[in-house]
Amino acid sequence: MNKKGFSLKGLTKKRLFMPIACLIVVLLINLVKTPDFFNISINNGVLYGYIIDVINRGSELAILAIGMTLVASSSGGTDISVGAIAAVAAAVITNILSGGTDSVNEFHAPLLLAILAGLLVAVLCGMWNGFLVASLKIQPMVATLILYTAGRGIAQLITRGQITYIRVDAYKVIGSQFGKNPVPAPIYVAVLMIVIATLFLKYTAFGLYVQTVGINAKAARLVGLNPVKIQFLCYMICGLMAGIAGVIYSSRIYSCDANNIGLNVEMDAILAVALGGNSLAGGKFSLPGSLIGAYTIQALTTSLYAMGVSSDQLPVYKAIVVVVIVSLQSPELYKMLKHRKANSEKKNLIKEAVQS
């Protein structure tokens, strides 16, 4: 880092510098390994290319990262139930649409109604988590562990243990594309969510409240904020985001596979928040950071696919990269390096002194 010179020093101090740099490095590796990684073409009326895959497939993760950021900031904990909530939402939606059968070729209920019901259930799940964490003061991980384990069971119960197929083109829209629009539909959903969240945080004091509660809940209460309410709201939003991600997951495969929808995605969402340079201990947060983190994870996954790494070995490579990225962002590491440098300089000085 020191080689970069003074003009860059200001830049490197910026909060988002490291997350962005990591994303760029991940993408640059592709330039060497898979030169056509950045090719974008229009194929069959849809934008086509690895970069599009990254943005498209990263949509769910980006949406989940929004909720996870708020949760991590306000409560200093993580919501590990988001994957399960996504499965529950998908199960509710497909079950309403299918009217209780395993495979249908037409809707048994209006699509919008089903999606709203699914999102409502997701919000309820979020409220449950919020109630446990905010009101009962249960540790976030323990509180959300309940739905983490029970959520998929609930989803299985709703779908009666079957994979429910909705073979209707209208249901595939959210997971594929809007009419003849060349941009994949999940991207629109993700962008919409990001814009809403950004505006909400920018033009209301909510973001500030969340950070205040996360830094010191007692102090927040003394200045007139209600920490319980704010944490509760954060978990509720997180539930809603999980529900929206569930809609996309389900629409992509026009079915609900309760065992596999959003499987292990909670860990990726938490990772996205961490990669974005946010502290999981609560307090200050940066939403753009989390989003960059989310797309970095997806870029990594897609890159590894492009390099032909089998998806069962993927976690290993992912882990290596994550260790590198996270440690690069750790202030302690720089302190250690500085310390060593100072020590060696000291030694050199002593040596010189002795020699002279």
Partner 1 sequence: MKRKALAIFMCTAMAAGIMTGCGSSASTTPSEAPAASEAPAASEAASSEAPAASEAASTEAASTEAAAEAGESAADEVAKNDGEVLNIGFAQVGAESDWRTACTDSVKSAFSAENGYNLIFNDAQQKQENQIKAIRDFISQDVDYIILDPVTETGWDQPLQEAADAGIPVIVVDRMVDVSDSSLYTAWIGSDFELEGKKACAYLKAYLDAKGFTDTVNIVDIQGTIGASAQIGRTAAFDAAAKENGWNVVSQQTGEFTQAKGQEVMESILKQSDDVNVVYCENDNEAFGARDAIEAAGKKVGTDIANGDIIIMSFDATNAGLTDTLDGSILVNTECNPLYGPVLTQYVQKLKAGETLDHDSYIAESQFSADDTVTSVNVDGTDYAVTLLTQDVLNARAY
- Pairing outcome for strands 41-43 and 164-166: unpaired
Residue placing its CB nearer to partner 1 in the complex, 132 or 304 = 304
Among 305, 317, 318, 326, binds partner 1 (CB under 8 A): 305
H/E stretch holding 42 reads: strand 41-43
Angle at alpha carbon of residue 94, lines to 182 and 166, rounded to 5°: 60
Stretch that binds partner 1, among 92-100, 162-170, 209-217, 239-247 (CB under 8 A): 162-170
Q: How far apart are the first and last CA of the chain?
A: 33
Under the criterion CB under 8 A, does residue 57 sit at the interface with partner 1? yes
Each residue 267-286 as x (binds partner 1 by CB under 8 A) or -, in order, gives --------------------
Whole-angstrom distance, CA of residue 48 vs CA of residue 238: 31
Q: Distance (Å, rounded) from C-alpha 287 to C-alpha 65?
A: 8
If one asks whether residue 266 binds partner 1 (CB under 8 A), the answer comes out as: no
Among 261, 269, 270, 271, binds partner 1 (CB under 8 A): 261
Work out which of 3, 5, 180, 312 binds partner 1, going by CB under 8 A: 312
Interface with partner 1, residue 253, by CB under 8 A: yes
CB-wise, 310 or 355, nearer to partner 1? 310
Reduced to 3 states (helix: H, G, I; strand: E, B; else coil), residue 177 is: strand
DSSP string, 66-118: HHHHHHHHHHSS--TTHHHHHHHHHHHHHHHHHTTSSEESS-SS-HHHHHHHH
Work out whether 44 is an interface residue with partner 1 (CB under 8 A). yes
Cβ atoms of residues 90 and 261 within 8 Å: yes
Write out the residues near partner 1 by the rule CB under 8 A. 36, 43-44, 46, 48-50, 53, 57, 102-103, 156, 161-163, 165, 176, 249, 252-253, 255, 257, 259-261, 302, 305-306, 308, 310-312
